[in-house]
């Protein structure tokens, strides 16, 4: 597992190895763990989607800026696609992402990348009580309000999952072309990121998943659901918190970044 360290955080005293000198027993860090280990095959471009530029800035840097500017985030860690670590560090220096502390190697799938990130944080000296906001690198329009609500909800309940109530009619299909079954949408939630956990809790979940042979759950929330016995609390998300997966998503992102809110709207 590759581990790269940069400068310390002003908000909390850190030693150069990433460990922290606690000021009291109840002081914990809020850490953004950005997952950027994917190759972006679905986008079909020559470079990974997280490093594509929008408004002369890589998408992943737009994402990191959201955490950089939030006063309650003390550190940023990135799980990075192999071979792009130096590029990421260079961009971070260029755009003054001073909260970046650690870069970890990506895994073979999303669950594996998160595994690398959380165990990397533990190896770097982070504590079980620290809050970890697991976030997709390709959700660059994350709001400060969503970050704040994730932190507050996780502090109160132990788990926070960003999500939006489903508004569309939902059909179930085995082949993607035909359907005879509809799914009531009243209880459905479309999850987003961040998904926030105490470091010790999410590590314990990954340990349990390993014992049960769960190796490719699509998200931390689905992993928790598969394991059972954990009540996850929903933080309201936003339609603007879009995940960039296709060229169409990229076009929507560009439009959202340029739009100005109408002053007459309530």
Least confident of 12-16, 83-87, 97-101, 126-130: 12-16
Q: What is the mean pLDDT of the chain?
A: 89
Rounded Cα gap, residues 199 and 133, in angstroms: 9
251-264 per-position pLDDT tens digit: 999 999 999 888 88
Highest mean pLDDT among 135-139, 174-178, 259-263: 135-139
Instruction: Please list, residue by residue across 173-191, b when 16 or more beta carbons sit within 10 angstroms of its beta carbon and e when fewer do.
Output: eeeeeeeeeeeeeeeebeb
The pLDDT, as a whole number, for residue 243 is: 97
User: For the structural domain made of 30-173+180-257, what CATH number should be given?
Assistant: 3.90.550.10
Looking at residue 53, the DSSP 8-state letter turns out to be E
Q: Tell me the mean pLDDT in the region 83-109.
A: 97
Q: What are phi and psi of 43, to 5 degrees?
A: -75, -30
Rounded Cα gap, residues 128 and 118, in angstroms: 10
13 pLDDT more than 80: no
**Higher per-residue confidence, 57 vs 266:** 57
The pLDDT, as a whole number, for residue 26 is: 56
212-254 per-position pLDDT tens digit: 999 999 899 999 999 988 889 999 999 999 999 999 999 999 9
């Amino acid at each position: 597992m590759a581990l790269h360290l940069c400068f310390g955080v002003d908000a909390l005293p850190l030693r150069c190895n990433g460990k922290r000198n606690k000021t009291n027993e109840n002081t914990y860090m809020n850490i953004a763990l950005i997952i950027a280990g994917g190759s972006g095959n679905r986008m079909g471009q020559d470079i990974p989607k997280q490093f594509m530029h929008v408004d002369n800035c890589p998408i992943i840097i737009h994402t990191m800026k959201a955490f950089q500017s939030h006063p309650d985030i003390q550190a940023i860690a990135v799980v990075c696609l192999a071979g792009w670590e130096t590029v990421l560090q260079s961009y971070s220096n260029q755009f003054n992402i001073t909260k970046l502390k650690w870069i970890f190697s990506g895994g073979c799938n999303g669950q594996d990348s998160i595994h690398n990130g959380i165990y990397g944080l533990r190896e770097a000296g982070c504590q079980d009580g620290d809050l970890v906001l697991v976030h997709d690198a390709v959700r660059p329009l994350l709001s400060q309000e969503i970050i704040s609500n994730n932190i507050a909800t996780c502090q109160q309940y132990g788990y926070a999952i960003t999500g939006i109530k489903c508004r569309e009619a939902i059909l179930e299909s085995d082949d993607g072309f035909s359907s005879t079954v509809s799914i009531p949408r009243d209880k459905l939630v479309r999850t987003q990121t961040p998904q926030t956990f105490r470091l010790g809790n999410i590590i314990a979940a990954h340990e349990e998943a390993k014992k049960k042979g769960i190796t490719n759950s699509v998200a931390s929330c689905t992993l928790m659901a598969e394991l059972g016995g954990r009540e996850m609390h929903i933080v309201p998300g936003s339609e603007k918190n879009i995940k960039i997966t296709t060229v169409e998503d990229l076009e929507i992102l560009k439009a959202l970044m340029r739009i100005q809110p109408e002053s007459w709207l309530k």
